[in-house]
Structure 1
Amino acid sequence: MKYKHKYSLTPIAIAALVAFPTAALADGPYVGVSGGVVLPEDSSNAGEFDADVPATPDFGAIPAGTEVGWETQFDTGFAISGQAGYAFENGFRLEAEVAYSEYDVDTHTGLTVGGANIDGADVAILTRGAADPANPTVGAVIADGQGKVTNFGLFGNVFYDINTGSAFKPYVGGGIGYQWVDVDYMPSGVAVGADEDGTFAYQLMAGASFEVSDNFEIFGQYTWRDSTEEAEIPLTLVPATLGVESSQSIISAGVRVGFGG
């Protein structure tokens, strides 16, 4: 005699199978927090002298308006941010974000004055001291890249969550806002420039989230963030103003908690 084996699912098991692939952060308000690493782009610092630098017995005068600039490389840094937003049933999300990032200076290279590279010149050309064979070169002084850059921004973001019919949900987004850039350049311990400037900024995001429950999800995200213009930083070593770039790639992970139904 053959027996037919009958299998049945309990109501709890059926509910779990149905809920898991379609779990989603409930429509409505949410808050989130994230953190990660910053991969800053090199900054092509560029500016000009604001006033004449008088001649000395060893060096000629530098007229106001003379261009000055150099390249700065940065170390990997860190970023943290907090978000508050609203998720709509159609997949769109609106979000306000507070963002902070910080990274150290690695090195400075290629200092030019009036288009001429002066890395090999006596550093006294900038300090206006006496030339001396014992003095270090400009390049040697700026190569020791002490200092850091911090960024604090407020952004309004728009996201679109792609419905995959599962707990995994890719998304894309963009945002605009305002960012304060605080620059502290101190190569070899010499105070070159330390100030803050605010500029409009924008960011583009792509990531994916995983819904653990109706009101809780984890996510990973890539962000490209940049300012619409350079931060204008007055220098302290010489009478000049320098434009500093603050382009950043940010790789982060975080959590979101919803307060919808």
Structure 2
Amino acid sequence: MGKVIMNSDDFGYSRGVNYGIIDAYQLGILTSTTLMANMPGFDHAVSLKKAFPNLGVGVHLTLTCGQPLLTNVGTLTEGRLFRSLSFYREGFEIDCDELYQEWNAQIQKVYRAGIVPTHLDSHHHTHSFGKNQEVVVALAQKYDLPVRGNFQLANKVQHTTYFEPLFDEVGVDDRKDSLLKVDLHVYLEGLLRKLRRTESTEVMCHAAYLDQSLYRQSSFLYPRLNQVEFLIHSDFAKEVQGDRHIELITYGDL
């Protein structure tokens, strides 16, 4: 039997994002999410987690969105804001101790809110870049937490057997804009087969309802809204729910 974690990133981004995640969990096949400790929707997300205690909640370590929690992290910022993703896509230099302290502060904020996190991942996958990998490994070992396994040093921490990165494409309206190299139904049939036979899988998605905060700050919009509907109402969701060879879990169940 394949153990499957359906994880939506960006919990805490905004109220609209939070409500989309909760609906996909309560009404659909979502089992898990990761919380952004530095974003305006954090307190709202914490209150929702307390209302739905079985929702798995990890920490979405953030380095490219909003403001840092700490003030003494100058290599991570431009003015008061975190540096953009483009900075990390090239050869970059930051103070790794500053990164450790900032990400540690984000993890600590989640614990202080009364949430014991299930795992770690990162916004824009920045834990997979350069020496950032060493920082996330050190933090995962400190807190004894699994990490999303899409980085080179994943063998040093607990992670799922497989990570599925392309599930966001189910929300793309125009198939010409899709990153999939096959038709959607072919992708989904192949994914179902993989979920059944793989020991453990994390499927990454980005469920959300649109609100002004998300609309103004993110370029990735309508596919999020479509994903909420897909996770609740699609034939794929119904097949996953009824498949005796698939067990929906959280990272806490690994």
TM category, shorter: under 0.3
Q: TM-score when scaled to structure 1?
A: 0.19
Q: Which has the higher contact order (CA 8 A, sep 6+)?
A: 2
Normalised TM-score (structure 2): 0.19
